[in-house]
Structure 1
Amino acid sequence: MDTAMLRDDMVAGLEHESKAVVESERVSAAMRTVPRHEFVDDAAAYADHTLEHAGTRVLAPSTAARLVEALAPESGDRVLVVGAGVGYTAAICAAIAGEHNVHAVDISRRLVIDARRNLARAGYDGVLVDRRDGTHGLAEYAPFDRILVEAAAVRPPRALEDQLAADGRLVLPVGTHDQSLVAVEGGTTERFGPVSFAPLLVEGEQSDTVERNRTHREDRERAERTAQRRTGWEHDWIDWE
């Protein structure tokens, strides 16, 4: 299987006027370079549809292209991707900005491990991927020239806004049921049409959260206290006559 040819065909389809989601030479070149089959199942790697992996949605190539086009990263930009997923979008950013300039976080430990492995196999092991609550960003590596959030929020998290460089650009889906892809830069907001993303999770909401060890004990003790609690007819201060 000639994966380079498959990538060329995929990007050509995304550039075609029927979709027209790849518009810049930078994004076109990056998507033709990044081996998407290292991030998803080989058979479906270059088809333009979403996939499922470890309880999360793997973005279709057209959606990934829309995000990166809205982000507009340039060579040398410091980039933060919130919601690393399988690592594909971070790889596209790395192909543009340079892998050591790209950082990614995800709230799911399993996805962090998978993204690291996928990026290394694809040749972008210089991308830093860490397990974090994305609403807190990655303050120790701030400021960032570009921040991309791959999950929806009602408004941009304050921590992410604070971690933007003075002329930085923040891109995220905004809204609940009706969402729009929005870019915030220099106090102005630019919209890039409707999208549909899962909500941005905070610590404790992720599917692989470790259950507290005492939860079952608490439930048992609460049930025992309830069973031993006096009912109305057992209280001697009630005059039932």
Structure 2
Amino acid sequence: MDPAVLREDMVDGLESAAKDVLHDEVVAVAMRDVPRHEFLEDDRSAYADREHEVLGTRVLAPSTAARLLQALALEDDHEVLIVGAGVGYTAAVVAEVVGETNVHAVDISRPLVVEARQNLARAGYEGVLVDRRDGADGLPEYAPFDRVLLEAAAVEPPRALLGQLTDDGRLVFPRGTQRQRLEAVSADGGRSQFDPVSFAPLLVEGEQSGAVERNRTAREDREHAVRRAESRRGWEQDWIEWEESIGSQ
């Protein structure tokens, strides 16, 4: 079947009363235009509302992608950072709204960066920048961004990403661990919550697919150490300073 017809059917289904997922006309038009089959192997299954697995990562179902994109509240000419480029489909839809040269995407997996670049070029969005980075660090060279989309779960958004927002910017991410909900955080600290979602956690160096070592314990130890250091107050801080002064004698 003609991929254009499959795209129309996909978006019509998301807008239907049965699914009631897609309400933003800007996002709907963009999803009708992006050739999703260029990002997945099977043309027909590419337009089915289900997830796919590619190079060790989950390609979002169209309904999930629509929820993320609507929460971003995109406008023409917005500068956008996508953390978790995956195969590049989300970046392509964003590019339809804001312009491809305004879209920047990063992924910690080198094979996925290569895949996303190839897919985007084949689909006609070669102007989208895709770089291999630790997503928690963002992309400071191109900051600030009007919108940041984190396609991975976190209890709180990384500080570096919040710091790369414009004054009226917005960061969208799945908040939580086992139970997650889509959340939008504004640069001034305001928060809005949306639908329940389920995403894999944000990865750091060594945890990505194909890495020599995948060690979440080490990462958790570092995070707990930082939280303990920041929470020291009163007699505990005095005791630490007293120990240090004894050791220096």
Query: Do these two structures clear the TM 0.5 threshold for a shared fold by scoring above it?
Result: yes
Corresponding residue for residue 199 of structure 1: 201
- Deviations, residues 116-155 of structure 1 (Å, cap 9, x unaligned): 0000011000000000000000000000000000000010
CA RMSD of aligned residues (A): 0.9
Q: Partners of 2:195 and 2:65 in 1: how far apart?
A: 14
- Deviations, residues 197-233 of structure 1 (Å, cap 9, x unaligned): 000001111122246xxxxxxxxxxxxxxxxxxxxxx
Query: Which runs of 5 or more structure 1 residues have no equivalent in the other structure?
Result: 212-241
Query: Which runs of 5 or more structure 2 residues have no equivalent in the other structure?
Result: 214-249
More helix by share: 2
Q: Give every structure 1 segment of 4 or more consecutive aligned residues whose post-TM-superposition deviation is greater than 3 Å.
A: none
**Alignment of structure 1 residues 171-190 onto 2, 5 Å:** 171-185=172-186, 186-190=188-192
What is the SS of the residue equivalent to 2:167? strand
Instruction: Note if contact 1:109-1:208 (Cα within 8 Å) is conserved in structure 2.
Output: no
Q: CA deviation at 1:63?
A: 0.3
Identity %: 68
Corresponding residue for residue 32 of structure 1: 32
Q: CA deviation at 1:43?
A: 3.1
User: Which AA in structure 2 matches 1:15?
Assistant: E
Bigger Rg, which one? 1
Q: Partners of 2:138 and 2:97 in 1: how far apart?
A: 21
- Deviations, residues 24-67 of structure 1 (Å, cap 9, x unaligned): 11101000000000001223110000011111111000000000
Tell me how many residue pairs correspond in the alignment.
211
Instruction: Note if contact 2:6-2:44 (Cα within 8 Å) is conserved in structure 1.
Output: no
Q: CA deviation at 1:89?
A: 0.4
Is 2:162 aligned against 1:169?
Answer: no
Is 2:93 aligned against 1:76?
Answer: no
TM-score scaled by structure 1?
0.86
Q: Partners of 2:37 and 2:181 in 1: how far apart?
A: 29
Q: Partners of 2:17 and 2:92 in 1: how far apart?
A: 25
**Alignment of structure 1 residues 1-241 onto 2, 5 Å:** 1-41=1-41, 42-185=43-186, 186-210=188-212
